[in-house]
Structures are given as C-alpha cells and as structure tokens.
Amino acid sequence: MAQRDITDEREYLEDRRAWRERGLSRRELLRAGAAGALLLGAGGVRLPDALAQAPAPPIVKPLPPEWFIPIGTNAEMRWEAMAGQGYLTPAARFFVRNHTATPRIDPRTWRLRVFGSGLRRPEGVELSLRDLHALPSERRVAFIECAGNGRSFFASQQGTPATGSQWGLGAVGVAEWRGVPLGALLDRAGISRRAVDVLPEGLDATVVSNGVDQGHVRRPLPVGKALDDVLVAYEMNGAPLPPDHGAPARLVVPGWVGIASIKWLGRIEVADRPLFSPWNTTQYRMTGGDYPADSPPLTAQQVKSAFELAPGATLPAGRRLVLHGRSWSGATAIRRVDVRIEGDPRGGTRRALLHGPNVPRAWVRWTVDWRPPGPGAYALLARATDRAGTTQPDAVPFNTNGYQFWAVARHPVTVA
Ligand SMILES: Nc1nc2c(c(=O)[nH]1)N[C@H]1C(S)=C(S)[C@@H](COP(=O)(O)O)O[C@H]1N2
Ligand SMILES: [Mo]
C-alpha cells in the first residue's frame, strides 16, 4: 500500500503539472487575453497560437487534491472525502472515468436518436432535451462503480498486478438520478417484440487504441435489463447533470459495471439480433487466469466495502475510536458487515452497526467502535454480506484486466 501511495503521489504531481500546462493555464491565458495581454511567458507565445495548441483537459470540474487522485483521463475519489458526508456522494466529489475527455455539448442542439431493426419503424424517433424533459420522470438512487474499481489490490494484496488504471476503492459513488425510464422511452419509440439488444452510444470522441479507431464508447444491453430499471438521466442529486458525468443525458444502469452507464448519450440502437462492440467483446469480460476463453460480458457488480479513511491514515492512540465505512452490492441491499482488526491481540471480529438508508444497488453506511491497544501498525478489514447471502471472500481469482476485485481489502493504519 505504501508503494501505491508513492506511485500515486508521483502520478498525481505529473498529471497536475500536465493539466496545469494544458488546462488550467488555458483559463489563465483566456483571462490574460481578456485583459489585452497578448504576450505570454518567457517564450513570448502569442495567445491565439497558445490556444490552438492547448488540448482541453480531460475533466472539466475542479479536482482538489484532498478529494481526488488523478489517474490519466480519470479521477479517483479519495475515500476520506466521504467522511462526514451524507448518504449521497456530492457531484463535486464523484469519481470520473473518461475513455477520452469530457465533451462540451450544447443542450439546445442536442438530439437523442433511437432507431434500429428492433423497432416497429426502424427509422425511429429523435428527441430534443425539451422532449425528454416533457416525458414522465423517475428518481432512482444507485451507485455507479467502475468494473476496475479495486484493481490495485490485485498487485498489493494478491501479488498479481493487473493492467489498467490502478484504482484503489474510490471508483464508486452513489447519487440520486432523475430521468426517463429507458423502457418508457423505448415504448414511445415503438419497440417491437423481436428486440434483443439495445446499444447506447456516447457523443465523446472516438477511442483510438493501438492506432485502431474503435468508434464511440458504446456497449449493448440485453433488452431485459433495458426495460427493467434503467434511466435516461438528466439530473444528478437534484441538479442538471454536470459535464463530466454525462450532460445533457446519460444512461444509469443500476447495479451493473459502470461502462453500461453510457454518458453523453447521442444514439440508441435497438436491434432484433445480438449487437457487439469492443466494450462487450474484448473488454469487460473476464480473461486470463482460470477463466474460460468465452466468459460472458460482465453485468452486475459484486459486494464491496470501504473505510472513510486514507490508506495509511494516522489515528490517535489512547481513546475509543469510531471507524466509519460503507458497503454496497450490485445485486441487492447489505445484510451485515463484520470488521476485523489485524494487529490487535484482542483480535476478534466485531459486527458493524448499519446506519440510515440501505438502498439496494446503492450502499449502506456503518460504524464500528475500536479502542486501539496501543501505538503501532494495524490493518482494518471490513467484510460485507448482502441480502442474497453473498459474502466478500478473502481472495478473488485473477483476471488479466483486473475487473471486479471484491475480496476483503486490507486498509493499513498507524496508531500514534
Ligand atoms: N460516453 C461514455 N460513457 C461512459 C464512459 C466514457 O468514457 N464515455 N465511461 C464509462 C465508465 S468505464 C464508467 S466507470 C462510468 C463512470 O461514470 P462517471 O464518470 O460519471 O463516474 O461511465 C461510463 N460511461
Ligand atoms: Mo469503468
């Protein structure tokens, strides 16, 4: 874990510097431009040239270092940023996972096209944001969690590093989403009984990987899930969706891998046959390790837990502590959480007290009391069981892309 911290810190500083050069200073440039100062910096770069060369930063919202760890085009939420927060993750603290970069979309010209062989009239319909707002809406509290959340634990805890963004446990957040049920939208578009798959597609830039353009981010959903509890959301926690989280509209697919919840929705194809994209064929399936070659596309997320503490946090000695955490499951609500403290000779496992809402496919908050026996190094281990009876294991089988690490995670702390 210590290793990971150092790496992250370095990554963080590098990313921050790069972003400042490309992004933040761009805003400063604009301000300088408005003030009429056209000569900039030691190089004396002229403003229009500087602007032409500066690519937009991948994430639009501010990323205060006390809340986020930048990882490439993504930003991980620091779990200590949830300490003292309410049930929902504020949008300003919500993790961001971008395959490319947050696009700026004009809500006045935005259109959502629904079409395909799975509709009675394949040419389908086109909706403006105004059309979408005019349809009956619902509110749904649900987490969005990246399939790769926890990936760094394959290295730090199981000694088998997996490729991809080295997330800790902060690629998850819970929000109240408001929007139109996808089922109602598809009804309106005239979905036929022969429909099999629904393919939502994002308006962000196409993804180029190893020199190959894979097209826009898109991932088919079986029609059963699409008609069940999926929302075409335009609000997050009672405010319009922020740009980084999919404005003006995104899919919210409760309980499923984050990639299902396509942001910046532009098109939805409904087909009378199975559909494929790189995001349900080569990616977001279990590969390597002991998995068979044809493992199915990932769907629901697993059972997980996190403490609202920084890894390696220092806790005060000589008093009773209240440790806070949250647990969640992609299948249902949480039944119980057990916390063990490694290094405490009085050992034992204590049952955490669950507090407040316990929404299926969101999370539950919990606390556990602990009086450290003395100064030293300890590790906190939380193990949740959901209402389907699924319990976090001690270890999980390895997969090459490091998806769905859901074993009990060791959280090191120092008592001083
Ligand atoms: N169009 C589009 N949708 C997308 C993505 C993307 O890069 N482009 N990333 C996906 C992934 S991998 C995740 S985990 C979630 C993250 O949602 P958030 O950034 O709002 O937290 O969005 C999903 N939807
Ligand atoms: Mo993701």
In Å, how far are 107, 145, 191, 396 from 111, measured between CA atoms?
8, 27, 19, 43
What share of the chain in percent tops pLDDT 70? 87
**Of the ranges 33-42, 343-352, 359-368, the best mean pLDDT one:** 359-368
In Å, how far are 233, 259, 268 from 182, measured between CA atoms?
9, 17, 10
Residue 410 has pLDDT above 60, yes or no: yes
Distance between CA atoms of 37 and 46, rounded to whole angstroms?
A: 9
**Ligand located closest to 147 CA:** 2
With the most atoms of ligand 1 within 8 angstroms of its CB, the residue from 67, 76, 98, 203 to mutate is: 98
**Domain spans of the chain, in order of start:** 9-271, 304-415
* Atom 5 in ligand 1: residue holding the nearest Cα: 98
Please state the atom number of ligand 1 nearest to the C-alpha of residue 207: 7
pLDDT at position 346 is 85
Q: Summarize pLDDT for 291-313 with one digit per residue, the tens.
A: 999 999 999 999 999 999 999 99
Confidence of residue 56 (pLDDT cuts 50, 70, 90): confident
pLDDT at position 1 is 28
> What single DSSP character describes residue 280?
T
- What average pLDDT score do residues 10-36 get? 36
**Ligand located closest to 102 CA:** 1
In Å, how far are 87, 120, 185, 338 from 189, measured between CA atoms?
35, 8, 6, 47
* Atom 23 in ligand 1: residue holding the nearest Cα: 259
Residue count of the chain = 416
Q: Which residues line ligand 1 (CB under 6 A)?
A: 94-99, 144, 146, 202, 204, 217, 245, 258-259, 261-264
> What single DSSP character describes residue 23?
I
Please state the atom number of ligand 1 nearest to the C-alpha of residue 257: 14
Strands across the sheet containing 353-358: 303-307, 321-329, 363-370, 353-358
Confidence of residue 35 (pLDDT cuts 50, 70, 90): very low
Which one, of 130, 50, 140, 29, lies nearest residue 88 by Cα?
Answer: 140
pLDDT at position 44 is 37
Q: Please, what is the average pLDDT of the chain?
A: 89
CB–CB of 95/75 below 8 Å? yes
333: left (phi over 0), alpha (psi -120 to 50) or beta: beta
pLDDT at position 348 is 78
* Cβ-based burial of 52 (10 A; exposed 0-12, middle 13-18, buried ≥19): exposed
Residue 332 has pLDDT above 80, yes or no: yes
- What average pLDDT score do residues 334-356 get? 94
With the most atoms of ligand 1 within 8 angstroms of its CB, the residue from 63, 94, 99 to mutate is: 99
Tell me the pTM.
0.88
336 token code pair: 């119980």
Least confident of 28-42, 54-68, 301-315: 28-42
CA of 352 to the centre of ligand 1 (A): 32
Distance between CA atoms of 282 and 212, rounded to whole angstroms?
A: 14
**Ligand located closest to 94 CA:** 1
The values of phi and psi at residue 5, to 5°, are -60, -45
pLDDT at position 113 is 98
- CATH for the stretch 304-415: 2.60.40.650
Residue 46 has pLDDT above 70, yes or no: no
Which one, of 133, 134, 116, lies nearest residue 125 by Cα?
Answer: 116
- What average pLDDT score do residues 126-151 get? 98
Distance of alpha carbon 375 from the chain centroid:
36
CA of 338 to the centre of ligand 2 (A): 28
Q: Summarize pLDDT for 130-140 with one digit per residue, the tens.
A: 999 999 999 99
Residue 380 has pLDDT above 50, yes or no: yes
66 token code pair: 């006390």
Q: Summarize pLDDT for 166-197 with one digit per residue, the tens.
A: 999 999 999 999 999 999 999 999 999 999 99
The answer as to CATH 3.90.420.10 being correct for domain 9-271 is yes
pLDDT at position 54 is 60
CA of 11 to the centre of ligand 2 (A): 20
pLDDT at position 286 is 98
The H or E element containing residue 47 is helix 47-53
